[in-house]
Structure 1
């Protein structure tokens, strides 16, 4: 393991579950929450920004990283599975679940050049 690779591994471990900005060798920057790190990769939960941007945006409906239903933009209520409350179609009821707010992104540690903490607000 190279010195830089080991340094990035330690930084990612130190900032586990923190909101960070990761910079890659090619200049690309990605913000997200570090959810895991292993000997080769860092795993990020990247926020989905629905309705923003174009094909390059992780929240864009045509992006292959988006696994949700592009027509499903409702805000859902919480309850016990199989036991609805409120009125179906108004965000509460049987079969509803909260929409997905993050995508998982796997980045190779060897490609990282910097990790910076970001504020949550």
Structure 2
């Protein structure tokens, strides 16, 4: 796919849960967060286990900062092979 076509395709799926695949075979799923002329930014959900805590405990150093639920992954538009819409439950 050409770069302008990929930009339009990504813009059509803004704020949706997608699977991104690059030319080198790397895949990543997340929410389309930002698109411009050069890059695509997606918010990837953090898959931490049951180690979340809502209140500080004596085992954590103070001040307590909660962990992020999403982290940002940036892809150059020229490296993208495809974009697939995924169901989010």
Do they superpose with TM above 0.5? Answer: yes
More strand per residue: 1 or 2?
2
The answer to whether the Cα contact below 8 Å between 1:76 and 1:96 also exists between their aligned partners in 2 is no
**The structure with more radius of gyration:** 1
Q: How does 1:1-121 map to 2 (within 5 A)?
A: 4-51=2-49, 73-76=51-54, 89=57, 98-121=66-89
Unpaired stretches in structure 1, ≥5 consecutive residues: 52-72, 78-87, 90-94
Provide structure 2 residue ranges, at least 5 long, that are not aligned to the other structure: 58-62
Stretches of 4+ aligned residues off by more than 4 angstroms: 95-98
Higher relative contact order (CA closer than 8 Å, sequence separation 6+) = 2
Q: 1:53-108: CA deviations, max 9, x gaps?
A: xxxxxxxxxxxxxxxxxxxx33216xxxxxxxxxx63xxxxx65543111101000
Please report the TM-score for the alignment, with normalisation by the length of structure 1: 0.62
TM normalised by structure 2 equals 0.82
